[in-house]
Amino acid sequence: MEVRIKNTRLAGQTAVITGASSGIGRELTKLLISRYGCSVIGLARNEEKLKGLSEELGNLSGRFSWRVFDVSERANWRKFAAELAGSGTQVNMLFNNAGIMPPVARFETAEKDPDNCAFRVMNTDFYASLYAVWELLPLLRRSGEACIVNISSAAAFVSLPGTAMYCAAKAALRAFSECLAQELGGGVFVATVCPGFVRTDLFRNQSEECMTRLVLSFCMQPAKAALKIIRGVIKRRHMIVPGADAKIMRFLHGLFGTAALDLFAFLLRASHIKLYSEVFTELPCGADDQSDQQTAAAN
């Protein structure tokens, strides 16, 4: 891989990146190593993809190491932090990038086990970032000029139908990140990233047929998203919004409030994007009555 070191505040620093095996995390890893001379510790569950990334880095692979563990388990973070402290590794940057998204569907029909779905999404998309900050913050503070980058989503601005748990988790992460920035002040820089649609493994649960039109219409390539994120970090922007779609969503929600939610739902319904077809399909006759009866019985 070609090396083009840029002399910025990031040069030569060490970053921890979750979800490093694919998508934005993978591109952040490649960019930080090849362009800024950073060392990266990548965290993910897929060891084969991590090995593939190391091979792709070629002569720069010495700057990349990885750990295979589930970031949604706090015990794993405790062990990882103890390992870094014991080895004297200085960590300058933390990128909380890992995330999952269930198949797009109406909430009441999304999963046979909605509790399990909710826990999986919240644990990975929200709690994993909390655990990372709790365990690594002492190490970050020792580095002098530390940086935490929490990658949320434009879904934190505008909740789209069919993605209830994903939107809830990303909104929670955005709120946490903004509070953290105020609490840590100038000691640790905190950025919140809210990208629009990006072509990543986040959509691996959606069928290729359903994704085609969406990808062509909206999706940004992960490499472009990673570049915009790094540029925002260098400029010390607390809110980074990659993608025209994300900027429009943020602007309209700020201008019209909850009325913007109805607008986006209408546009999705009118666009006939197959990914959202089930979301706007009417429930079978009597489904609402049955739901009301179940609620009454529970009460």
Q: Domain containing 186 — which CATH number?
A: 3.40.50.720
- Whether 272 shows a pLDDT value over 70: the answer reads no
Instruction: Work out the average pLDDT over 68-83.
Output: 97
Pick the residue with more confidence: 46 or 101? 46
Q: What is the pLDDT of residue 3?
A: 63
Is it the case that residue 277 has pLDDT exceeding 70? no
Query: What's residue 216's pLDDT?
Result: 53
- Residue found under tokens 């990233």: 193
Lowest mean pLDDT among 82-96, 117-131, 156-170, 269-283: 269-283
pTM of the model: 0.85
Lowest mean pLDDT among 1-5, 94-98, 229-233, 280-284: 280-284
What is the percentage of the chain residues whose pLDDT exceeds 70? 80
Instruction: Print the domain residue range for 221.
Output: 14-285
| 2 in a structural domain | no
Residue 294 has what pLDDT?
40
Residue at 207 is within a domain: yes
Given a cut of 70, whether residue 215 has pLDDT beyond it is no
pLDDT at 33 over 80: yes
Best-predicted range by mean pLDDT (119-123, 236-240, 265-269): 236-240
pLDDT in the model for residue 283: 45
36 carries an active-site annotation: no
Residue 290 lies in a domain: no
pLDDT band at 266 (very low <50, low <70, confident <90, very high): confident
Confidence (pLDDT) at 236: 95
pLDDT at 117 over 90: no
Q: How many domains does the chain have?
A: 1
Is 239 inside any structural domain? yes
Q: With pLDDT > 90 as the criterion, what percentage of the chain qualifies? A: 62
Mean pLDDT throughout 31-55?
97
pLDDT of residue 22: 95
Q: What number is the average pLDDT over the span 243-269?
A: 87
CB atoms within 10 A of CB 288: 12
pLDDT grade for 179, boundaries at 50, 70 and 90: very high
Has residue 292 been placed in a domain? no
83 belongs to a structural domain: yes
Q: What's the chain's average pLDDT?
A: 85
Residue 38 domain-assigned (yes or no)? yes
pLDDT of residue 268: 74
Residue 165 lies inside a defined structural domain of this protein: yes
Out of 3-7, 134-138, 269-273, 289-293, least confident range: 289-293
Catalytic residue among 36, 127, 131, 166: 166
Mean pLDDT of 173-202: 90
